[in-house]
Amino acid sequence: SREWHLVSRPHGWPVASDFALREVPVPQPAEGRILVRNLHFSVDPYMRGRMNDVKSYVPPFKLDHPMDGGAVGEVVASNAEGFAVGDHVLHGLGWREYAHVPAQHATKVDPELAPLSTYLGVLGMPGLTAYAGLFETASFKEGDAVFVSGAAGAVGSQVGQLARLKGASRVIGSAGSDEKVKFLVEELGFDAAFNYKDGPVKDQLREAAPDGIDVYFDNVGGEHLEAAISSLNVHGRAAICGMIAQYNDTEPVPGPRNMALIIGKRLRLQGVLVGDHYGLQDRFVQEVGGWLRSGELKYRETLVEGVENGVEAFLGLLRGDNTGKMIVTLTR
């Protein structure tokens, strides 16, 4: 079985030599564990943070140890009650072909209900992030004008659609290519979208939302956040979800220069961590599952084939190669 190890801590942009694909023996499951053949594993932006040796809300990856993260696979041997060979499970030991998973860290999933990969995306952690961040953190209400950055990604593409489905007056998205902009407007039903590489975000946002915005869902930080603060209306709210524009920075970057606007406009900017919101899981699956079945909510995945391409998929995610959720598939 092959698995990806972090072998040196990246400084700035990660490079291929920071990682090694290593061959390890496949164990028989110990008491209370199951052996899972992974079929899909997730690469996520937060993993960049785990490559640094700093204290955060998730511990750093250890050097010369397998990296981990969300994965779905098939049970091929079981030494745990309640799990049988052939079951499909969601678990946290991705970045490898075979996972030796403690049963209490595995959740059964049904491939008949939804394609297995969706448990890593639209019906999984990024989906719940979108749902909780928009409805809880940003206190979205009908009639709000919503702006989301990183809008063609896993979280962002869902945020915009959830806002539309719940009666937003206007949904605006930004993304890094013309193709993605087209996808947002033509396929996902955004009212307006722009390519942030085309010119100042502040100007493009003003043009796309002449009457301002009530909610900003931040996946990007930096210039996007400053522009959103400028465009937010009185009593506007921002869910601060991610700052991917800064994850590879080697020096702290200056914050938005227009923070004083927060006072006059009585803005609320609040962080969101998906881990706080698993209490919403049932409601989320029910509601989003319904919209998926009815076709009102669409999702896209970018699938990269083969464990050996895992690191390349991760680097591609940071570069913006993906539309929708970036997933490594190991189906042979």
Compute how many other C-beta atoms are within 10 angstroms of the C-beta atom of residue 98: 21
Compute how many other C-beta atoms are within 10 angstroms of the C-beta atom of residue 206: 14
C-beta closer to ligand NDP: residue 29 or 150:
150
Compute the distance between CA of residue 37 and CA of residue 270 in angstroms, rounded to an integer: 39
Least distance between ligand NDP and beta carbon 96 (Å): 20
Compute how many other C-beta atoms are within 10 angstroms of the C-beta atom of residue 85: 11
Least distance between ligand NDP and beta carbon 320 (Å): 3
| C-beta separation of 6 from 67 below 8 A | yes
Q: 41: helix, coil or strand?
A: strand
**Which residue type does 65 have?**
H
Q: Which residues bind ligand NDP (CB under 6 A)?
A: 44-46, 126, 129, 150, 152-156, 175-177, 180, 219-220, 241-242, 244-245, 272-274, 317-318, 320, 322, 326
- Counting DSSP H helices and E strands in the chain, the numbers are 9, 15
Least distance between ligand NDP and beta carbon 300 (Å): 10
Least distance between ligand NDP and beta carbon 148 (Å): 10
Give 321's contacts (C-beta < 8 A, 6+ positions apart).
302
C-beta closer to ligand NDP: residue 274 or 311:
274
Tokens at residue 151, please?
Answer: 């809008």
Least distance between ligand NDP and beta carbon 100 (Å): 26
- As a residue count, the chain comes to 332
C-beta closer to ligand NDP: residue 58 or 85:
58
Compute the distance between CA of residue 99 and CA of residue 114 in angstroms, rounded to an integer: 22
Least distance between ligand NDP and beta carbon 152 (Å): 5
C-beta closer to ligand NDP: residue 126 or 236:
126
C-beta closer to ligand NDP: residue 155 or 269:
155
C-beta closer to ligand NDP: residue 101 or 175:
175
